[in-house]
Amino acid sequence: MERDIPRLRNDIDIFPTTYQGEKAVLVKDPIGLFKNTVVLRGEALQIIGLIDGKRDAKEIQLELVRQRGGVFVSLEAVQDMICQLDAAILLDCASYRKKRNELVKEYARLDTREPALAGLSYPGEADKLKDYIRSIMALGQISSTGWAGKKIAALVAPHIDLESGKTVYAKAYQVIKGTTPKRILLLGTGHKLQESFLSLTDKDFVTPLGRIKTDKDWVLRLKKAGSRVISPYDITHKNEHSLEFQLLFLQYVLGTNFSLIPVLCGSFHRVLGQVSRTSEIPGMADFLSALKLCVKDSRYPTLIVAGVDFSHIGLKFGQRYPAASLLIDAKAHDRSLVEDICEGDVEGFWRKVQKENNRYNICGFSTLALLLEILAGKKGRLLGYDFWMEDETQSGVSFAAVAFPA
């Protein structure tokens, strides 16, 4: 291990929980360098909060002793725990970066993006999956009233776990019944996309319901146009659920006779206070121009689908207070954002997130901000909204469905 203590990896998922009656965290690796969930508790839980790439082992030891009210912790014990974290591939060190680079290159050579959550978040067998999606879709039949025969330009749908968001998923996908797009521009949150604003892939997408071909020509054109803001790697797509969940409903409703342009949006929050809309991000305007040309191509009628969630509040998401204490304010903030989305108010939407300094962790912010630029003021209509609460972690996530008639 390197002499200086590297920081904890910033591309892993950490979830607070309890284990055998004590505080713990579950650690998962979205890119798959380790397969099994890691449970950290006790001193290991204290240490991960101190590994920031700035402290050495001695400084970590002294801080642990201070936090424990003077109870002694040996330097050897600290070094041993750090070595264990390193062996578990949890630290951003040279060995991790080497393994990650190898995985990135290996993934880049693949032709298909295989399903990451089949058999885990939804049935892995086609017949059982169809039955499951059918049972979800039945929950939203009433919402289709007034939409029959209407052409839909764009759709906002949740990307929360299917079971938790099933009613709003149903309300979203009922409105595209009877539509016949030849291409889907599929936008989603790249939860672990950090090195760039966007990530595209030319891989075909596979689910238990079949294979969807990606429009490789347009993906290449978009990559060239957005070279300043698009990641050169597509590893972020490997285990990202925000697109995968949408594809299941799209295949169920539309079949497989459409092509795909998959776009993941990383965080725009680092420029939140520097610009007033997505098109002002350096390098983004050229990408947006190309994307609008793609959508307007009359030879390939294109439906835009954005898989997003809204507020993420509570202890699970790094906040000091339980979700219940923030729920009323978060709902009011969501409603205000939905109003801007339905009015096509690009700058108003940006300003509201900026004003709150993303207090409510709107994970779909970047995706929605990009969508509003593409739609250029088109009006939308709210189909459904809900808030899922997780009692165990005192946390909650909101989500909505919005349709934009053509």
Q: What is the pLDDT of residues 90-145, one digit of tens each?
A: 999 888 999 999 999 999 999 999 999 999 999 999 999 999 999 999 997 654 45
Specify whether 338 is located in the same domain as 194. Answer: yes
Mean pLDDT of 292-303: 92
Specify whether 50 is located in the same domain as 132. Answer: no
C-alpha 333/C-alpha 225 separation (Å) is 34
> 1 lies in a domain?
no
Specify whether 117 is located in the same domain as 100. Answer: no
Specify whether 255 is located in the same domain as 365. Answer: yes
Residues 6+ apart with CB under 8 A from 315: 16, 321, 322, 323, 393, 394, 395
Residue 43: the pLDDT is 76
Q: pTM of whole model > 0.95?
A: no
**Contact (Cβ atoms closer than 8 angstroms) between residue 347 and residue 285:** no
5: pLDDT strictly greater than 60? yes
C-alpha 100/C-alpha 109 separation (Å) is 15
21: pLDDT strictly greater than 80? no
Domain that holds residue 41: 13-104
Q: What is the largest CA-CA distance in the chain?
A: 72
Find the distance separating the first CA and the last CA of the chain, reported in whole Å: 57
Residue 153: the pLDDT is 96
Specify whether 195 is located in the same domain as 312. Answer: yes
Specify whether 48 is located in the same domain as 186. Answer: no
Residue 209: the pLDDT is 98
SS3 state at 394: coil
One-letter amino acid of 227: S
C-alpha 24/C-alpha 51 separation (Å) is 17
Q: What is the pLDDT of residues 233-287, one digit of tens each?
A: 999 999 999 999 999 999 999 999 999 999 999 999 999 999 999 999 999 999 9
Q: Three-state secondary structure along 171-237?
A: HHHHCCCCCCCCEEEEEEECCCCCCCCEEECCCEEEECCEEECECHHHHHHHHHHCCCCECCCCHHH
Q: What is the pLDDT of residues 338-377, one digit of tens each?
A: 999 999 999 999 999 999 988 999 999 999 999 999 999 9
Q: What is the pLDDT of residues 192-213, one digit of tens each?
A: 898 899 999 999 999 999 999 9
307: CATH: 3.40.830.10
The sheet with strand 210-212 has its strands ordered as 112-113, 204-207, 210-212
Specify whether 203 is located in the same domain as 273. Answer: yes
Per 3-state DSSP, the chain is made up of helix, strand and coil in percentages (nearest 5) of 40, 20, 40
- Tell me which residue of 150, 154, 129, 199 sits closest to 371, measured CA to CA: 154
CA angle 174, 264, 151 (to 5 degrees): 30
Residue 2: the pLDDT is 42
Specify whether 211 is located in the same domain as 233. Answer: yes
Specify whether 389 is located in the same domain as 274. Answer: yes
**Which of the two residues, 359 and 149, has the higher pLDDT score?**
359
Give the whole-number percent of the chain exceeding pLDDT 70. Answer: 97
What is the total count of domains within the chain? 2
C-alpha 92/C-alpha 327 separation (Å) is 35
Specify whether 118 is located in the same domain as 76. Answer: no
> 238 lies in a domain?
yes
- Tell me which residue of 185, 351, 231, 360 sits closest to 280, measured CA to CA: 351
The pLDDT mean for the chain works out to: 92
158: pLDDT strictly greater than 90? yes
Residues 6+ apart with CB under 8 A from 21: none
Domain termination site, one of 48, 76, 104: 104
Residue 148: the pLDDT is 64
| pLDDT band, very low/low/confident/very high, at 3 (cuts 50, 70, 90) | very low
Domain termination site, one of 53, 77, 104: 104
Give the whole-number percent of the chain exceeding pLDDT 90. Answer: 69
E strand or H helix at 334, and its extent?
Answer: helix 327-343
Structure-block tokens of residue 231: 């990641």
31: pLDDT strictly greater than 90? no
Domain termination site, one of 76, 104, 132: 104
Residue 141: the pLDDT is 67
Specify whether 152 is located in the same domain as 86. Answer: no
230: pLDDT strictly greater than 50? yes
Specify whether 74 is located in the same domain as 143. Answer: no
C-alpha 190/C-alpha 197 separation (Å) is 9
Could you identify the residue written with the tokens 């892993």?
A: 12
Residue 149: the pLDDT is 67
